Structure 1
Amino acid sequence: MKRPLVLLAGLLLLVTACSATPDSPSGDSRWRPRPGVAWQWQLTGRVDTSVDVPVYDIDGFDQSKAVVSALHGKGRKVICYLSTGAWEDWRPDADRFPRSVIGRGNGWEGERWLDIRATDVLEPLMADRLDMCREKGFDAVEPDNMDGYRNRTGFALAAADQLRYNRLIARLAHERGMSVGLKNDLDQIPRLVDDFDFAVNEQCAQYDECGDMEPFVKAGKAVFHVEYELPVSRFCAESRRLKLSSMRKKYELGVWREAC
Structure 2
Amino acid sequence: MIGRDGQPARRMGRVLPLGVAVVLLTATAACRPDLTPPGAPTSWPVASARHWQWQWQLDGVLDPTVEADVFVLDPVTTTTAETAELRSLGRRLVCQVYVGSVHPDDPDASRYPAHLRGAAVAGTGRSWLDVRRWDALRPVLADRFRLCRGKGFGAVLLADADGYAHPSGLPLEFDDQLQFDRQVAGLARSLELSPGLLGNLGQVTALAPDFDFAVNEECVRLAQCDKLLPFADAGKPVFHVEYSGSTADFCVTSVGYGFASIRKNRTLDAWRLPCPPA
- TM-score, with length taken from structure 2: 0.81
Distance 2:41 2:79 in 1: 23
Which residue does 2:116 correspond to in 1? 101
Given that 2:42 and 2:92 are in contact with CA atoms closer than 8 Å, whether structure 1 keeps it comes out as: no
- Code of the residue aligned with 2:110 in structure 1: it is D
Report the 3-state secondary structure (helix = DSSP H, G, I; strand = E; otherwise coil) of the residue aligned with 1:194: helix
Which residue does 1:155 correspond to in 2? 170
Q: How far does the alpha carbon of each residue in 1:128-166 deviate from its partner, in whole angstroms, 9 at most, with x for none?
A: 111111111101001101111110111011000110110
Distance 2:123 2:247 in 1: 26
Which residue does 1:88 correspond to in 2? 103
Identity over aligned pairs, percent: 38
Which residue does 2:194 correspond to in 1? 179
- Code of the residue aligned with 1:35 in structure 2: it is A
Aligned residues: 234
Show structure 2 runs of 5+ residues with no match. 1-38
Q: CA deviation at 1:111?
A: 1.2
Which residue does 2:62 correspond to in 1? 47
What aligned pairs does 1:131-150 form with structure 2 within 5 A after superposition?
131-150=146-165
Which residue does 2:91 correspond to in 1? 76
1:202 aligns to 2:217 (yes or no): yes
Distance 2:71 2:42 in 1: 16
Q: CA deviation at 1:63?
A: 1.3
1:119 aligns to 2:131 (yes or no): no
Moved over 3 A (4+): none
1:35 aligns to 2:14 (yes or no): no
Q: How far does the alpha carbon of each residue in 1:64-83 deviate from its partner, in whole angstroms, 9 at most, with x for none?
A: 22211111011100000111
- Code of the residue aligned with 1:32 in structure 2: it is W
Q: How far does the alpha carbon of each residue in 1:48-71 deviate from its partner, in whole angstroms, 9 at most, with x for none?
A: 100011110000121122211111
Q: CA deviation at 1:29?
A: 5.7
Distance 2:203 2:255 in 1: 24
Distance 2:213 2:70 in 1: 12
RMSD (Å), alpha carbons: 1.5
Distance 2:122 2:185 in 1: 25
Distance 1:177 1:236 in 2: 33
Q: How far does the alpha carbon of each residue in 1:223-251 deviate from its partner, in whole angstroms, 9 at most, with x for none?
A: 01111133323310011111101111111
- Code of the residue aligned with 2:184 in structure 1: it is I
Q: How far does the alpha carbon of each residue in 1:74-116 deviate from its partner, in whole angstroms, 9 at most, with x for none?
A: 1100000111111122222112111111221112432111111
1:193 aligns to 2:205 (yes or no): no
Given that 2:214 and 2:237 are in contact with CA atoms closer than 8 Å, whether structure 1 keeps it comes out as: yes
- Code of the residue aligned with 2:85 in structure 1: it is A
Greater relative contact order structure (CA < 8 Å, 6+ sep):
2
Report the 3-state secondary structure (helix = DSSP H, G, I; strand = E; otherwise coil) of the residue aligned with 2:145: helix
Closer, same or farther: CA 51–30 of 1 in aligned 2, 3 Å: closer
